[in-house]
């Protein structure tokens, strides 16, 4: 196949593209510069109707004979790294090292590589492919790009299948969406001197009560449900009654029911702990604790059935490339279409990588061609060749 030859002979081109993408910083909520690059790149590569939507997603079409089926191939622009992080790529042996190089510069580079392959081999499609670079996949971005894509704008209501390239591992076909809810719990009191104001409500005590309750929650193994208090903060000094204390809580479950149960438990624990602390001290000093609950994330769970054609074609395309597919579950951009009943999966773009979300993140292009070829077979299988 001509297209496969192109992929095999383009390794240095693909590396150069990957490095270029990775070296454009894309901190959370600041994906604009990398987005502009993609808008220009999509245009350069001849995609039709290239535009950036109001959320920041960059979209371009590789048109076939018809607009249906319309397959989305996507990857996310944002990284987890804050502004100012050094994203210069260093070569160490065959490895390319830089924060964000695999997650998800590798996925973004695959979009470009696939467009180049389609162009070079002059592949005519029956349906069409929308190439999309999304914003806000990571952390507090809370899938805002994918959410927007399916609720507003030109693609809403038109997508028949969605594939997100995230990271490198080609064995995993993520067809189940792991749901989560995230909260910031902030407790505030009047504060005061540890000696002089003794008896005043203490937000840290209340926070401690919530934490103790959460630690005793029996999360079921089946359906798998987890929770984590990942960050706590509060207080000024050893001899000061704190004015505030806060924590960030991550709740996850494969089941919406279990997720809601866990969420209710957390909210009840906060309520109970606040009332207990107020009862113990609030009345005495005449000042109660104030609670501020902020939901900092909510991702729906769900599943693309494994007998649906997108999953079956993904499995077949993997096997055709000698890859043993493993169906699994994760929290990715695909959560949104999955929760809407639109067939969606997340797959790796190929190559090897490690230290994801760490400054020491690395990528090795070994085996990348298998990932690109598998992706091409899958895409063509879904939209059809003319």
Which residues of this chain interact with Zn ion, rule CB under 5 A? 103-104, 166
Asked if 22 and 87 count as a contact pair (C-beta separation under 8 A), the reply is yes
Q: Closest CB to Zn ion among 287 and 357?
A: 357
User: Cα 74–77–81 angle (5° rounding)?
Assistant: 145
Q: Closest CB to Zn ion among 10 and 164?
A: 164
Q: Closest CB to Zn ion among 235 and 354?
A: 354
Angular region, 352: left φ>0, alpha ψ -120 to 50, beta rest: beta
Q: Closest CB to Zn ion among 103 and 263?
A: 103
Quote the least distance from Cβ 127 to Zn ion, whole Å: 26
Q: Closest CB to Zn ion among 53 and 104?
A: 104
Which residue, among 157, 265, 170, has the nearest Cα to 211 in the 3D structure? 265
Q: Go through 282-310 and write b for each residue having 16 or more CB atoms within 10 A of its CB, e for each that does not.
A: beebebbbebeeeeebebbbbebeeebeb
Q: Closest CB to Zn ion among 142 and 166?
A: 166
- Helix (H/G/I), strand (E/B), else coil: 49: strand
Quote the least distance from Cβ 180 to Zn ion, whole Å: 15
**DSSP of 220-246:** -TTTTEEEEEEEEEE-S-TTEE-SEEE
Quote the least distance from Cβ 29 to Zn ion, whole Å: 16
Quote the least distance from Cβ 75 to Zn ion, whole Å: 8
Phi, psi (deg, nearest 5) at residue 230:
-100, -10
Quote the least distance from Cβ 301 to Zn ion, whole Å: 18
Using CB atoms within 10 A of its CB, is residue 272 exposed (0-12), middle (13-18) or buried (19+)?
middle
Q: Closest CB to Zn ion among 158 and 357?
A: 357
- Strand partners for 203: none
Quote the least distance from Cβ 138 to Zn ion, whole Å: 6
Phi, psi (deg, nearest 5) at residue 357:
65, 15
Quote the least distance from Cβ 333 to Zn ion, whole Å: 8
Quote the least distance from Cβ 359 to Zn ion, whole Å: 16
Quote the least distance from Cβ 167 to Zn ion, whole Å: 6
**DSSP of 121-134:** TT--BSSEEEEEEE
Q: Closest CB to Zn ion among 55 and 103?
A: 103
Q: Closest CB to Zn ion among 71 and 80?
A: 80
DSSP 365: -
Strands 161-165 and 344-347 come out as parallel
Which value, in Å, is the radius of gyration of the alpha carbons in the chain?
24
C-alpha 162: how far from its chain's center? 14
Quote the least distance from Cβ 235 to Zn ion, whole Å: 35
* 157 Cβ contact list (under 8 Å, min separation 6): none
Q: What is the rounded distance in angstroms from the CA atom of residue 181 to the CA atom of residue 295?
A: 7
Q: Closest CB to Zn ion among 276 and 355?
A: 355
């Amino acid at each position: 196949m001509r297209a496969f030859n192109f992929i095999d002979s383009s390794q240095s081109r693909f590396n150069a593209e990957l490095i270029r993408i990775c070296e454009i910083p894309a901190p959370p909520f600041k994906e604009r510069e990398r987005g502009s690059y993609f808008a220009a790149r999509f245009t350069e590569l001849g995609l039709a109707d290239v535009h950036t939507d109001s959320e920041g997603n960059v979209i371009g079409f590789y048109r076939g004979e018809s607009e249906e089926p319309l397959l989305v191939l996507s990857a996310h622009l944002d990284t987890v790294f804050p502004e100012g992080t050094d994203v210069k790529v260093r070569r160490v042996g065959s490895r390319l090292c830089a924060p964000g190089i695999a997650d998800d510069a590798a996925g973004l580079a695959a979009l470009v590589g696939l467009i180049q392959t389609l162009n070079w081999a002059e592949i005519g499609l029956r349906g069409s492919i929308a190439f999309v670079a999304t914003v806000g996949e990571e952390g507090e971005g809370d899938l805002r790009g994918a959410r927007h894509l399916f609720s507003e704008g030109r693609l809403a209501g038109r997508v028949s299948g969605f594939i997100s390239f995230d990271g490198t591992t080609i064995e995993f076909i993520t067809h189940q969406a792991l749901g989560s809810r995230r909260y910031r719990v902030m407790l505030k009191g009047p504060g005061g001197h540890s000696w002089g104001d003794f008896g005043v409500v203490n937000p840290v005590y209340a926070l401690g009560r919530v934490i103790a309750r959460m630690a005793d929650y029996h999360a079921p193994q089946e359906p798998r449900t987890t929770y984590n208090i990942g960050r706590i903060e509060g207080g000024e000094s050893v001899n000061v009654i704190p004015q505030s204390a806060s924590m960030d809580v991550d709740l996850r479950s494969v089941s919406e029911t279990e997720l809601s149960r866990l969420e209710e438990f957390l909210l009840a624990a906060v309520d109970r702990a606040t009332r207990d602390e107020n009862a113990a001290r609030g009345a005495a000093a005449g000042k109660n604790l104030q609670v501020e609950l902020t939901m900092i994330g909510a991702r729906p769970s769900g599943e693309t059935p494994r007998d649906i054609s997108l999953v079956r074609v993904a499995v077949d395309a993997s096997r055709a490339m000698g890859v043993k597919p493993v169906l699994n579950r994760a929290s990715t951009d695909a959560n949104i279409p999955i929760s809407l009943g639109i067939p969606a999966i997340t797959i790796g773009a190929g190559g090897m990588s490690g230290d994801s979300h760490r400054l020491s993140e690395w990528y090795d292009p070994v085996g990348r061609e298998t990932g690109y070829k598998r992706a091409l077979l899958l895409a063509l299988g879904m939209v059809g060749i003319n």
